[in-house]
Amino acid sequence: MQYRPLGRTGLQVSAICLGSMTWGEQDSEAEGHAQMDYAFERGINFIDTAELYPVPPKAGTQGATEEIIGSWMAQRKNRADVILATKVIGRSQNTWFRDDGSPAELSRAQILEAVDKSLKRLRTDYIDLYQVHWPDRAVSAFGSNATIFRNVREPEHSIESTLDVLAELVRAGKVRHVGISNESAWGAMRYLAHAEHTDAPRVASIQNAYSLVNRTFEVNLAELAMREHVGLLAYSPLAQGYLTGKYAGGALPKGSRKQLFERLQRYEKPVAMLAYEAYTALAREYGLDPAQMALAFVTSRPFVTSNIIGATTLEQLKTNIDSIDVTITPELEERIDAIHLQYCNPAP
């Protein structure tokens, strides 16, 4: 396993991070525990979760993923060995997150409530990396790095006020470091500027979608990540499974996310299907597993701090972790870039 600095925090995190959003829905507590056991045996020291999880989000299961991680750490007595990241949701009309039934927003009261609930579920008194899951302001898409701009203005809590609340959590010892997610270059720089002129914490990372079919993080956010030491925690590196080839030719594997939930439309645009076929064929031409090639590409980018992988079985998890040993040669990268130019960001 490789290890990389998490921003300027002094922490070294594994280049592959264990994602958790299936635990409590597609995976049971025992299966989640088995995945964490195996991942840590392989050298992973970094787990990413969220108050939202598991996915798909719903009132009946919300918070179950954090509870599974909490029970695992309590049973293994290994909290000090885990670099633990979780998230507070941004603005949402969903009302089941807060005790008073209010729609979610990044107000001081709601952030304080969210962190205390996460700490209780996780059975810990501190969170290593506390991330804003998505902005409080209206943005062009779920992620703020869309390819089409929509000028939408709604009520919002400022980035500065959000960071001031996160600073309170750091001072209280509940949070060690802070990060952002689904954020734009403008938003990231606002966080950094406020920290520069106050005693607020400096964001250590940005968690955005990044894959062979969604390279919108390049080039503005990539430059920001490298020059400002706010590295990318890449999510959906397999485009929700499409880059594994398992959905090729209209296949619908039993137990897959698409078969269970039919909510992968972000990855099902017509041109995206052509891109999946091209990348899968390229991997096989080079004698590589398509999933491992896709993951190795993400991990190898100089602006990536950690690549967040997810799996519903130990077999998938082993395949994904083994991608750390796959090398993207200059020749292969040139072929990948040629496909990218032909089918540019078809699934942002």
First to last CA, the chain: 29
Is 235 known to be catalytic?
no
Helices (H), the chain: 29-41, 64-76, 108-122, 159-171, 185-197, 220-227, 257-261, 270-285, 290-299, 314-322, 330-342
Query: DSSP string of 195-226?
Result: HHHSSSPPP-EEEEE-BTTB-TTTTHHHHHHH
Distance between CA atoms of residues 213 and 237, nearest Å: 9
Q: Which of 53, 235, 267, 343 is catalytic?
A: 53
The answer to whether residues 21 and 54 touch, using CB atoms and an 8 Å cutoff, is yes
Q: Which residue, among 40, 42, 212, 107, has the nearest Cα to 32 in the 3D structure?
A: 40
Distance between CA atoms of residues 85 and 49, nearest Å: 6
Active site amino acids: 53
